[in-house]
Structure 1
């Protein structure tokens, strides 16, 4: 009987991990991923949902249920006479055995909790977590519930990201943990040399060079991840942005603004990733519209914004355009600037830094980089502001693209001589 139950659960998990069609196997033919009913407050802290999938009365000597924890929610301390197996199917969570450190559990993990061991488990600080909890030998099992897990205990979690033989500077550790307080990277075990080199450089030496606000710094790196088509790093920096209080609207505006500069084909996967993270972190979608134009006003307002950024030279672009390419100039005014750059959610100085970050990361866009260096100046960003942008992007886009951007900067906004 045990083998048949375990086979069912393993088959179910295999379907999840192989990203096939979601398997619907529950007592009432409902999806096992459904939230179910609220968990009893006597045994849980926060918002928790329970969906019982397999019960002893179904003919199995087991108790199997899907439990969904909203961020920071968790069980009380408890133990099981028969032990417990947790299959994490969504999100990131914590579990702790009494007397040991809090551990992280992620989607795809299987947690085997020994018999009669006092423990707790639940969601992480930022992520919803869903697991399938399984108890075998249910006829012999006894669950004992103890006291709630206090906030003091829960908040003792610190991700051991930087235990790389003490080779990372305290400043690098502090700046990294400001962005990701709970992220566990496999790089520290697989590539400790690279962790030492990159983190000490990117999160200490580079960050310490200037006083750029952490929110702006995170947003320009997020934009460069879009320009570089680096989806994994982009997802990391969406979470980092939320962790340092960049608003969901600001993040979405960066993604939307990428469309005219990078193209919808390349932005779609990043938009989907953003929505997935927002849903995981319980951010209600769709967000409030930030549009300021209509079909009737988009050209007029776009042209006005374009002139504000580019300057009066925009008039010459129209005058000097061949007749058969005049429509492209119109598209720049009504679509690029009218549809996107007139939107609320980001101020104009930030939008121009975001645009410049796209262009630097794309590479081969020196003509556009020069234009938007001038545009940054026109909206109030200084040469030092742009040096800060390029310096902070350097670890992520590399030296060739950064040096090309610096050459453009020196041509358009040369350093003043003392």
Structure 2
């Protein structure tokens, strides 16, 4: 039996599995492994850049094998340090990095084991766009002591993870990239050849996670929010449940995910959004995230029209009001007011997502449902809030596996001709 299997076997025997309990989820920590998250690591906060959580896993004095699960938020890492007795790390969730002084950083995925010799200066932590958890096992505990050194500054960290981040992966073949992205998103293994239709799953996984995911300059969080709103618009609820978990795994907060789904209501209708909310809420509940989430509304009954118009008018002008003015019975005026008060007043004013993200997600939902007339005006609005044609193109390509080539190419033509 190899070292990795021995260590994992010991871990399972000693502790089994646990549930997330990070401060009653006041800070939402995604459940990216079967090991408990524990409490926020305030005792060692001075030695970390960013937040981390610590869960001691062993207490037996007879065994004397100190082992803890450490969870890092995206971008979090500890200082340079060393151990007089050495250390073992086992990656159990998300994507992380380990670097020894004078060597290139090593990218860590679940199942990877790092053997750290005594007195070797090193650091470890999360990828910029992913949460990360590892088991930390102290070797030679009777004499092992830590020496904490300098902070891993932003420049050192950026250099360590440069060209290794899952954001592009352009130097990897599609099979390698597919496996890395799939594990980061879902925690499992891609391209297993198992199931009733392994050939279809291989084609799908290599296409989506090995090709689409490296096309354009979108980070993992944005890609997963686009995927979630696309699936919500299509009412593909089982797939939405899987991707809701994946979104949490790569750093999308529960509030961001909820707001992305809320944002769909004026476009696809409230019944479909209620279905989608039921799906993502089941994911939240399964991860110990307390519901309801914090309120994000910022308007009152008295000012929702005014606040909505303040967002709508600079982006869209009076075009919709003019378009609706000849609706029979003068009710077009009511519809125009509803649009201002509901789409912009009730939803666009909410905190949790900025206007740039909201406009990008709206464009993707319109892409999915094939609303070509609205795509024209929302394209211009996206450009006004700072989303480039390249960003919109990458977003449409992210939707493409779910809506097919013909529908996506239509929208790409709209972007091209704008």
TM-score range, shorter chain: 0.5 to 0.7
- Describe the shift of the 1:173–1:367 C-alpha distance in structure 2 as closer, same or farther (beyond 3 A): same
Query: Cα deviations across residues 24-46 of structure 1 (Å, max 9, x unaligned)?
Result: xxxxxxxxxxxxxxxxxxxxxxx
Question: 2:415 is matched with which residue?
Answer: 409
Alpha-carbon contact 1:210-1:388 (below 8 Å) kept: yes
Aligned residues: 285
For 1:23-172, what aligned pairs fall within 5 Å after superposition? 99=6, 121-123=16-18, 125-126=31-32, 150-151=67-68, 155=91, 169-172=175-178
Query: Cα deviations across residues 349-394 of structure 1 (Å, max 9, x unaligned)?
Result: 110111111121223x211222211221222212111111111211
Do structure 1's residue 183 and structure 2's residue 78 form an aligned pair? no
Question: 1:387 is matched with which residue?
Answer: 393
Query: Cα deviations across residues 10-62 of structure 1 (Å, max 9, x unaligned)?
Result: xxxxxxxxxxxxxxxxxxxxxxxxxxxxxxxxxxxxxxxxxxxxxxxxxxxxx
Distance 1:127 1:264 in 2: 34
Secondary structure at the counterpart of residue 207 of structure 1: helix
Rg bigger for which structure?
1
Question: 1:48 is matched with which residue?
Answer: none
How far did residue 314 of structure 1 move? 4.4
Alpha-carbon contact 1:127-1:281 (below 8 Å) kept: no
Question: 1:133 is matched with which residue?
Answer: none
Distance 2:311 2:280 in 1: 28
- The structure whose RCO (Cα within 8 Å, separation 6+) is larger is 2
Give the gaps of 5 or more residues in structure 2: 20-30, 37-61, 69-87, 94-108, 112-172
TM-score by length of 1: 0.60
Question: 2:152 is matched with which residue?
Answer: none
For 1:315-330, what aligned pairs fall within 5 Å after superposition? 315-317=321-323, 319=325, 321-322=327-328, 323-330=330-337
TM-score by length of 2: 0.60
Alpha-carbon contact 2:90-2:110 (below 8 Å) kept: no
Distance 2:271 2:65 in 1: 49
Question: 1:249 is matched with which residue?
Answer: 255
- Describe the shift of the 1:207–1:283 C-alpha distance in structure 2 as closer, same or farther (beyond 3 A): same
Distance 1:100 1:215 in 2: 32
- Describe the shift of the 1:122–1:387 C-alpha distance in structure 2 as closer, same or farther (beyond 3 A): same
Give the gaps of 5 or more residues in structure 1: 1-97, 103-112, 131-144, 161-166, 414-418
Question: 1:282 is matched with which residue?
Answer: 288
- Describe the shift of the 1:101–1:241 C-alpha distance in structure 2 as closer, same or farther (beyond 3 A): same
